[in-house]
Amino acid sequence: MPGVTPADVLSNFGITLVEDPAENQPRLLVDLPAAELVEHAIRREEGRMASNGALVIETGERTGRSPNDRFIVDTPDVHDKIAWGAVNRPLSIESYETIKAGIVDYLNERDVFVTRGMAGADRNHTRRLLVACERASQALFIKQMLARPLAREIARTGEPDFCVLAAPGYQCDPAIKGLNSSAAVVINFQERVILVAGTGYSGEIKKSIFSVMNYLLPVEDDVLPMHCSASMDPVTHETAVFFGLSGTGKTTLSANPTRLLIGDDEHGWSDMGIFNIEGGCYAKCEGLDAFHEPEIFNAVRFGAICENVVLDENRKPNYDDVSITHNTRVAYPVEHIPNAWTKGMGTTPSVVLFLTCDAFGVLPPISRLTADAAMYHFVTGFTAKIPGTEVGVTEPTPTFSSLFGEPFMPLDPMVYAKMLGERIADGRTRVYLVNTGWIGGGYGVGHRIELAYTRALVARALDGTIEDSEFVHDEIFNVDIPTTCHGVPDGILVPRQSWQSTARYDEAAHNLAVMFEENFEKKYSHLPESVKAAGPHAQVPADARHRGRGLLGLRH
C-alpha cells in the first residue's frame, strides 16, 4: 500500500530507528545517493578512495562466500519444494528467530543505511527489495547492484516483496542449533526475509537475493532464472547468454565493445525473452588491466566499490597484488560500461554458451553441443572452483555444479533443466561448450588459454561463422570441435594436439570422462537415455583410438 515508509517496514521486525531521531540517537539513512554513501563510508573508516575515484574496502576475515554458513528456514510452505542437502541447508524456525532477534538488537544500537531497489528489469517479473545495512559501503554496493526503480516507482513502493537485514559486525552464537560458525546467511521464504550476519563479503547479499529469485521466478512466474551473463547484437538485436560459475569469464566475455551488455551475472528467461535481474556488475579483478579488459578497467571509477584490492602509496589499485585474497572484486552500475543496454531486456537467445574452467586441460576451447548434450552439460555443470571465490579454495578444484550455479538454486536441478530444455527444443538456439581454463596440460603444467583466443572463438560462435568450419567429433567427450577459427591457432583447438605427451593427455581425458560418468550416474540416472548417451564416455571404440584417441571423421 502507498505511504508505507522504510521505518514502518523495519518496525515489523522490531527495528525502532527513524529518519529524524532525537539528538545523538542512531537513525535510518534512506536511499542516499552514491556520493553521500561514499562520504559516510570514508568518514566511518570503512574504506579509502582510490586514485581512480573508486571506494576501496576490506571485507575482513571472510573474503569469499561461505557455503557452509548458508541456510534456508524449513517452513511448511517450502518444506516439500526445496532441494535440501549440502547446498540448501535447513534451519529451524527457532534458530532463525534467535539470530533475527540478535541482529535486530544489534542494528537498533547504530545507524542503519536503507536502500530500496528491485530485482528484475522486466516489470512483469520484478520483486521490490528493501535492504537495511550496518555499513554505508554495503549500502553503496547493493545500490549499484540492484535494478534501480524510477522516482515514481519509489513513491508507490509500499511493502517490499523481500527484506534484507545485513549486519556484518554481528557475530552469531555458534552454539545456536544448526550453525557452523559465528556467520550466517539465512533465507526465510515465509517471512520474505534474508539475514546476513558475521561476514563483510558483499557477495553474500547479492547471491542471497539471487537465490530468492531462483525460487520465486520458477514457482510463481514460470520464468527460468539463470546464472549467466547476456549480451545483444546492436544491429540485429539477437541475444546470447553465457552460463558459468565465478571465475569462468561471464563478466569479461559479455563486456564486449562490439555488443550491447544486458547484464553480467543473473538473468531470467521468460516467454517474451530474457531480462537482467540486476542493475550492476560484480567482476573479479585479479590481473585486471586496460589492455585486456578495457571496459571493466575503465568502469572502476567514482561510484564503484572495490573489495580487498591493494592500493600503492599513491592510492593506485594494484590488481596484481593478491596478498589479501585472489578473490579481489569490483562492483559498479551497468551504466559504467559504455555499451550497456540499460533497458536490461532482450529477445530469446540465439546462442547459449556454457563456460567451464577445465583445470585438467583436456576439454576443447570451444565445442558444439546437440540439444541432448546441452541438457547433459547444464545439469552436470563441470568446472573448477577458482582460488578465492569460496573460503578455503587456494587452487583450482574440479567440481560439478548443477546448472553452472548450484550453490544458488533452491529447487531440484531438474526444475531448471526442464525449463531450459523446453526453451532450446525448437532448434533455434545454438549451444556451445567453451573452456576458458587450461590448455597444453593441466593446472601447473599447461597454461590458461589466452583471453584473446577465447574472445575470437566466442565472436565466431555469436555471428555464426564458426559453423563454416569443418568439425571433428571427439569420441571421449562426445562433442564436435571446429578445426579452424579466424584469429585462433589451429593447434590449440583440438586439445590432444597441444599436449607434449599424448599418453598423458589420454590418461587425463579418460580420468575426467570417468568423473563425468560417475557424477551423472549418482545424480541423474533417471534422465532419458538420450541425454546420458550425449555425455562423455570413458571407454571409446578401438578404431577411434587408432584414429587419434577419440577423434573420428569430419562433420559439418
Asked about 143 being catalytic, the answer comes back as no
Residue 444 pLDDT > 70:
yes
Binding residues for substrate: 65, 201, 207, 329
d(CA 147, CA 116): 10
C-alpha cell, 261: 551488455
Mean of the pLDDT values across residues 8-18? 96
Mean of the pLDDT values across residues 114-127? 97
The confidence score (pLDDT) of residue 552 equals 46
Catalytic residue among 62, 70, 207, 368: 207
Q: Residue 387 — pLDDT band, cuts 50, 70, 90?
A: low
Residue 394 pLDDT > 90:
no
Asked about 227 being catalytic, the answer comes back as yes
When computed from its CA atoms, the radius of gyration of the chain, rounded to whole angstroms, is 23
The confidence score (pLDDT) of residue 389 equals 62
Asked about 265 being catalytic, the answer comes back as yes
C-alpha cell, 168: 556484518
Asked about 545 being catalytic, the answer comes back as no
- Determine which helix (DSSP H) or strand (DSSP E) holds 555, and give its type and residue range: strand 551-555
Binding residues for ATP: 207, 227, 244-252, 293, 329, 448-449, 454
Q: 81: exposed, middle or buried (C-beta count within 10 Å: 0-12, 13-18, 19+)?
A: middle
Mean of the pLDDT values across residues 79-95? 97
Mean of the pLDDT values across residues 251-258? 87
> Do 472 and 384 meet the contact criterion of CB atoms below 8 Å apart?
no
The domain 6-336 having CATH identifier 3.40.449.10: the answer here is yes
Catalytic residue among 40, 125, 250, 423: 250
The confidence score (pLDDT) of residue 22 equals 87
Distances (CA, A) of 540 to 173, 312, 478, 509: 54, 54, 10, 11
Q: Report which residue type is found at 377.
A: H
> Do 221 and 125 meet the contact criterion of CB atoms below 8 Å apart?
yes
In DSSP terms, 146 is beta-bridged to 278
Q: Report which residue type is found at 539.
A: Q
d(CA 71, CA 82): 11
Asked about 122 being catalytic, the answer comes back as no
d(CA 467, CA 349): 17
In DSSP terms, 329 is beta-bridged to 284, 307
Q: From start to end of 320-359, where are the E strands?
A: 329-333, 345-346, 351-356
- The torsion angles phi and psi of 213, rounded to 5 degrees, stand at -65, -30
pLDDT tens sequence across 277-297? 999 999 999 999 999 999 999
Catalytic residue among 40, 62, 63, 65: 65
pLDDT tens sequence across 297-353? 999 999 999 999 999 999 999 999 999 999 999 999 999 999 999 999 999 999 999
pLDDT tens sequence across 505-517? 999 999 999 999 9
C-alpha cell, 97: 528467530
Catalytic residue among 246, 367, 429, 436: 246
Binding residues: 65, 201, 207, 227, 244-252, 265, 293, 329, 448-449, 454
Share of the chain above pLDDT 70, in %: 94
Number of other CB atoms surrounding residue 464 within 10 Å: 12
d(CA 362, CA 499): 9
Residue 553 pLDDT > 80:
no
The confidence score (pLDDT) of residue 255 equals 80
> Do 409 and 379 meet the contact criterion of CB atoms below 8 Å apart?
no
Q: Residue 539 — pLDDT band, cuts 50, 70, 90?
A: confident
The CB-based long-range contact list for 510-517 (8 Å cut-off, 24+ gap) reads: 510/476, 510/538, 511/360, 512/358, 512/360, 512/362, 512/363, 512/398, 512/536, 513/476, 513/477, 513/537, 513/538, 514/538, 515/382, 515/398, 515/400, 516/380, 516/382
Of the candidates 280, 285, 266, 264, the residue with the CA atom closest to the CA atom of residue 327: 285
Catalytic residue among 326, 329, 368, 385: 329
Assign residue 85 a region (left: φ > 0; alpha: ψ between -120 and 50; beta: otherwise): left
Of the candidates 161, 265, 158, 165, the residue with the CA atom closest to the CA atom of residue 217: 161
Number of other CB atoms surrounding residue 314 within 10 Å: 7
Catalytic residue among 40, 227, 430, 510: 227
Fold classification of 350-555 is: Phosphoenolpyruvate Carboxykinase; domain 3 (3.90.228)
Mean of the pLDDT values across residues 386-400? 72
- More confident of the two residues 326 and 542: 326
Name the residue with cell 559504467.
336
Mean pLDDT (the chain) is: 93
The confidence score (pLDDT) of residue 246 equals 78
Mean of the pLDDT values across residues 73-78? 98
Residue 388 pLDDT > 90:
no
Query: What per-residue string of b and e applies to 119-157 under the rule 16 or more CB within 10 Å gives b?
Result: bbbbeebbbbbbbbbbbbbbbbbbbbbbbbbeeeeeeeb
Mean of the pLDDT values across residues 109-126? 97
Return the ∠ at Cα 298 (arms to 308 and 459), rounded to 5°: 105
Mean of the pLDDT values across residues 103-119? 98
Asked about 81 being catalytic, the answer comes back as no
Asked about 236 being catalytic, the answer comes back as no
Mean of the pLDDT values across residues 393-418? 88
**Helix ranges (DSSP H) in 108-168:** 136-145, 151-155
The confidence score (pLDDT) of residue 249 equals 87
Helices 136-145/34-43 angle, 10° precision: 150
- More confident of the two residues 437 and 1: 437
Asked about 148 being catalytic, the answer comes back as no
Maximum distance among all Cα pairs of the chain, rounded to whole angstroms: 84
pLDDT tens sequence across 159-198? 899 999 999 999 999 999 999 999 999 999 999 999 999 9
Binding residues for Mn(2+): 207, 227, 265
d(CA 68, CA 207): 14
d(CA 28, CA 111): 6
Mean of the pLDDT values across residues 233-254? 91
Q: Can you give the residue ranges of every domain in the chain?
A: 6-336, 350-555
Share of the chain above pLDDT 90, in %: 84
Q: Report which residue type is found at 245.
A: L
Query: Is the pTM here over 0.95, yes or no?
Result: no
> Do 54 and 301 meet the contact criterion of CB atoms below 8 Å apart?
yes
Residue 44 pLDDT > 70:
yes
> Do 258 and 332 meet the contact criterion of CB atoms below 8 Å apart?
no
Contacts of 117 (CB under 8 A, 6+ apart): 128, 129, 131, 142, 143, 146, 147, 148, 149, 279
Catalytic residue among 69, 74, 265, 480: 265
The confidence score (pLDDT) of residue 480 equals 97
pLDDT tens sequence across 191-217? 999 999 999 999 999 999 999 999 999
- Identify the DSSP state of 149: P
Q: Report which residue type is found at 380.
A: T
Q: Residue 550 — pLDDT band, cuts 50, 70, 90?
A: very low
